[in-house]
Structure 1
């Protein structure tokens, strides 16, 4: 194990620290703009997509597995009601969000999956050609991405509903 850690590039530990810090900050109630609540899911979508492509290339079954699992997870999660303390203020265009450990768990899940896959491929290169391994990893990445996306979709839906309810302000002439 020590050999694995000593051969890990320093930037990986920095990325881990940033994700850990940001994930822990999500456990506190906060306000955030629609843009900010969109950036994290997009970043994690990119990170998991990069994990698929860097580990297995652009293999059609792997990419389809990632996309299909992500779409299914996003659909399912987008149907789960938001926490009752979640609010959107259409005037300020900001969300009032309760704290949650879910973003931390998802970020650590994607990071640790990518790290474990890289270690597995470095120590057992033949796994890169193992279809079952590739589909399992791509499905896992897809699930993480889809959960992030589904959570964002719920917020977008809330913002759209609240914006429709808010009285429109007269435009300046």
Structure 2
């Protein structure tokens, strides 16, 4: 069964997996990242997540609602936490020094494998695409991943705004 699934998987899926694995692995070690670049990965992964919901559950509006609710709830909760220890923002170069983390890799793999497993399940059992309970559960899972990605970027931008404001008005820090 697994062999059949893998042999019917398009080659581009394996290429996407390799790309996401590589991108996630690059974030395991500390690095410097520009302010604008902190938005690229969250936007791409949130887009992939939302595409996963909309493509699998076209006729299930509750799936998109569950995605949005989970993204907002989880995003709000994660945004309340401080940026990871060792995170620094340099207002002169407008870049961050970020510690290495396995979280981005785990999130990327979570979204990728959710999309893959859902696609396989719907291909094998097309009726799942029409079940509201399945659509809501998967939509919420995708939303949770998206909320974490968005909140991690928001935490960095809040740090940057505080630092940039401090340059203009040192009393505000």
Q: How many residues align?
A: 168
In the TM superposition, residue 84 of structure 1 has moved relative to its aligned partner by 2.2
2:23 alignment partner, SS class = helix
Could you tell me how far apart the structure 2 residues matched to 1:123 and 1:143 are?
A: 26
Q: CA deviation at 1:47?
A: 0.1
1:58 deviates by 5.7
**Structure 1 segments unaligned to the other structure (5+ residues):** 169-173
1:1-173 equivalences in 2 (<5 Å): 1-57=2-58, 59-167=60-168
Secondary structure class of the residue paired with 1:41 = helix
CA separation in 1, counterparts of 2:95 and 2:168? 16
Deviation of 1:167 (Å): 4.6
Distance (whole Å) between structure 1 residues aligned to residue 58 and residue 156 of structure 2 = 33
CA distance in 2, matches of 1:116, 1:59: 18
Report the TM-score when normalising by structure 1.
Answer: 0.95
SS of 2:155 mapped into structure 1: helix
CA displacement at 1:156 relative to structure 2:
0.6
Mapped partners of 1:151, 1:58: distance in 2: 31
Runs of 4+ with >2 A deviation: none
CA distance in 1, matches of 2:33, 2:45: 18
Secondary structure of residue in 2 paired with 1:166: helix
Q: Report the alpha carbon displacement of residue 60 of structure 1 after superposing the two structures with TM.
A: 2.4
